[in-house]
Amino acid sequence: MPPSQSMRSHIALFIALLVCALSWLLGTLIGQHTSQQIRQDVGSNMAEVSYAMVDRLDRDMASRAAVLKVLGNLQALRQPDDIAEIRRLLDSLQKEIPSIAWVGFTDPAGLVLASSNGILEDVSIAQRPVYLEGRNGLFIGDVHEAVLLAKLLPNPSGEAMKFVDISLPIIADDGSLVGVLASHLSWAWADEVRESILGPSQDRHLVEFFVIGQDRGILLGPREMIGQKLELPALEGLEPGQSRWQVQQWPDGNDYLTGLTLSRGYKDYPGLGWTVVARQSLEVADAPAQSLLHSILLWGSGLALAFAVIGWLVSTYFTRPLRDIANAADRLSAGEITEIPELRGSREIHQLSQSIRHLVESLTLQQTALGMMESLAHHDALTGLPNRMALEKFLPQAQQRSRLQHGCLALLYLDLDGFKPVNDTHGHTAGDHLLREIAQRLRGCLRDGDMVARLGGDEFLMVLQVPGQDAQHHARQVAERAIAALGQPVLLEVGEVRIGCSVGGALWPVDHIELSAVLQLADEALYRAKYGGRNRAVFHNSQETDLS
């Protein structure tokens, strides 16, 4: 082979390998960063969802116990003269709360006098823990099987039925034991809670969930694993109410992103030591990062091929400039702080050097740019407040918290009164200073869990977590506080200025079940506030408050 052809082959091969190496190196760095970020996000989300399920289980269990306490205080049970009336009460309770599979009332000796659907009536449960423990005080037992009761209850699935016991003593006015109010709560209720909270996430992200008992036995999870003991290092040292996530190797030998939360009970109910565990295969979690890495390598391979062809074509005339580029690339690969030289030869050589420079700079800056873009994309550059993108991400989370807390969201549109004259008279610098001061004052009006975002210009939106009872009153207090705070004079370099604020508010889900519709109602309320005199708060379907 002639020497010229051999040189072409070596130069073309070198360029191809160089670009591939750079693409692989920077692609690996970006892929690792992306993988860590995805693991952080997915792990945190699983920990949050496991906390939501533990909290729901504890609250539901406490509420069932509270219902039985209320029933046990009824005179009909404390003076059981009418057994038929007691049976009617128990049937009504079981009908209203289907998760209560069976509820019965015994005499002091443990004989069932009345029960839902008449099941186990005239049968003694004196040796059952639900009676033995219940006669001494409120008893909430862990998950167990009840063979006798399971035979008497409907069981469409045919699977083994499990129950949670709740019982308490019925005490007469003279302090004597009248009997025991005992119930079996169907464990299928826990699976319904899991489906309602985790079903969509489980299908979309291939996440598996487990409820672990205090003895580390699996109470709820994949059918083939129920009853097995689960030993994970992450379970050690977990405090009640604490959530955490880790990458864990499970007994099957595979690594999983694992999020877990230990029950802490609710109010007077101390909990049964359950732990909710969520897991996702590490391979599934890392799939997006691997896809990104493959894309970078694919594009890098394409660029390598393109540059190899260019090197093959021009190597005869531009061997020396290309050698300079190769030497600089070697130093860059060795870890030296350098850059690809910008050659001033022919147009083709100049274009080649520029292309390689841009490739290296683009791939080097991409990792930093991704982090910067994420932060900048969610915050207003002037005031530092969250922007519309951050608001869109925050609203679904706020809705979920409100549902769990049985509360409401108050959406308050705020529009500054008198801002434009300040901006026109004293200039944009003074206007920017004023907007930053306004943002600071609005932050001071918020409580934990609230948010204020700048929508643009002199328009802001507050999202408030308010209780379901008297929600508008709480929201109006914040609105009035914001109007008062913004009405205070602001000292600028040009002197002291005053502005006002108009507020339009609406409540979700009180005013409308759709959040987008509530935003529209709040906007319409703001329109009424501004054209009704300004410096006032107007809520949907309510009287306005003038604070001028």
On whether the CB atoms of residues 282 and 247 are closer than 8 A, the answer is yes
Q: Are strands 536-539 and 500-508 parallel, antiparallel or unpaired?
A: parallel
Separation between Cα atoms, residue 359 and residue 339, nearest integer Å: 11
Residue 130 tokens, joined: 């639900």
Dist. CA 180–CA 149, nearest whole Å? 18
The answer to whether 72 and 168 are in contact (CB under 8 A) is yes
Strands 162-171 and 243-249: unpaired
Distances (CA, A) of 57 to 169, 191, 194, 475: 24, 10, 9, 30
CA distance 197 to 506: 27
Provide φ and ψ at 510, rounded to 5°.
-65, -50
Strands 490-492 and 545-546: unpaired
Quick one: tokens of 292? 């990104």
The token pair at 421 is: 């004259």
Active site residue 174: no
Enclosing H/E stretch for 215: none
Angle between helices 319-333 and 3-72 (to 10 degrees): 30
Which residue is catalytic, options 458, 470, 511, 523?
458
Q: How far apart are CA 177 and CA 136, in angstroms?
A: 10
Amino acid letter, residue 280? Q
Question: Which residues are tagged catalytic?
Answer: 458
